[in-house]
Amino acid sequence: MASTYKCPLEHKLALTVEEAAEYSNIGQNKLSTLLRLPNCPFVLFVGNKKLIKRREFEQFISSEVEI
């Protein structure tokens, strides 16, 4: 039986929308809206999948007063 390793969120470079919502306490719908912005600084496309670059996401949150 193969064991699955689950990497802690703080060690991941890219997060799914679900992980980023859990990590930041920002709703998945709000994150999806932000990812659709033309110049979103933290979106990473992997095929059709959208991931969130964790460091850039943290910087974005730190620099914003309101989302």
Could you give the domains of the chain? 12-63 (3.90.105.50)
pLDDT at 27: 97
pTM of the model: 0.85
The answer to whether residues 31 and 17 touch, using CB atoms and an 8 Å cutoff, is yes
What's the pLDDT at 57?
97
Looking at the predicted structure, is the pLDDT value of residue 1 above 60?
A: no
When pLDDT is cut at 50, 70 and 90, the band that residue 2 belongs to is low
The 10s digit of each residue's pLDDT in 21-55 is 999 999 999 999 999 999 999 999 999 999 999 99
* Enclosing H/E stretch for 59: helix 54-63
Spell out the long-range contacts of 28-36 with Cβ–Cβ below 8 A and sequence spacing 24 or more: 30/67, 34/67
Q: How many angstroms separate the Cα of 67 from the Cα of each of 2, 6, 15, 40, 53?
A: 42, 30, 19, 13, 18
